Structure formats: C-alpha cells, structure tokens
Amino acid sequence: MPWTKTAWANLRGTNTTSVAVAPSGNTGGNVDCAGANDYISLAVRVSVLFDTAPNKAAQVDFYGYNEDMADTDADTLAIYTAEIPQVTTSEEIATYQINVSALDHVRCVVTNLDTTKTIDVHIAYMAGYW
C-alpha cells in the first residue's frame, strides 16, 4: 500500500484569520486519528503572532486520549510540551511531527504565557496513513 497524506487542515483559525488568545488564556483543537483513514503520523503547524513587546512566550501541549472513555481524564496521555519563543518582528511558526499510530485522538493546546498581552494563533495539521 502506498503512503498517503492529507492536505493541510485548519484546527483553529485559518491562514488569513487567526484566533485571538487572551493573556493567560489558551485555544486548541482535536484530531480524530482513528477515523476512516487510521492516521499513522501527524504534522502539526502552530503559528503565533505576538503583540508588541511581549514579555512571555507561548506554550504548546499535545495530549492523546480515547474518546470512548466518556468525559474522564483517566485516558489522557501527555505526549509533548514545547515553548514557542516570543518574537516582535514577525510571526513564529513551529511544526511538530507526532506518531499517532497507537492513539485514538490527539488534542493540541496553545497557551499564552503572557499575562498582559494577547497573541494570535493558527493551528493546522496534515496526516499520513497507509
């Protein structure tokens, strides 16, 4: 079977309309990895545009979870955490590659660590499957 990949899909915001995240707030979205195509790998692109003179970075967290276990955290697995450094001249773009072959769903959350300034966030993903 040949390897297949999806087109980039928006998880939060779009290329032209990002989501504003208030100071100390967060935004995120979920990817169903066990749907019709049983994704094996995810590339997640996080774009952050900081306000002028930011005093803190942003943080991105990835979690795996099983949607069949109802509304509990017993099935939530922290996968990866990274800091997106603050920049003042342009947007900061980071791409993360995640093996999701053993995961039902993946949640990506971007947290604004700045307590006084708003950030603009766009999250997109591309999936690979057999």
pLDDT in tens, the chain (130 residues): 678 999 999 999 998 899 999 999 999 999 999 877 889 999 999 999 998 888 899 999 999 987 765 555 656 889 999 999 998 877 899 999 999 988 889 999 999 999 999 999 999 999 999 8
Residue 8 CB coordination number (10 Å): 13
Residue from 126, 119, 17, 127 nearest 60 by CA:
119
At 37-55, the pLDDT tens digits run: 889 999 999 999 998 888 8
What region, left, alpha or beta, does residue 14 occupy, with left being phi > 0 and alpha being psi -120 to 50 degrees? beta
Rg (CA), the chain: 15
Tokens at 66, concatenated = 């099983």
Residues of 62-74 as b/e, b for ≥16 C-beta within 10 angstroms? bbbbeeeeeeeee
3-state helix, strand, coil in the chain (%, to 5): 0, 55, 45
What number of H helices and E strands is found in the chain?
Answer: 0, 10
What is the reported pTM? Answer: 0.90
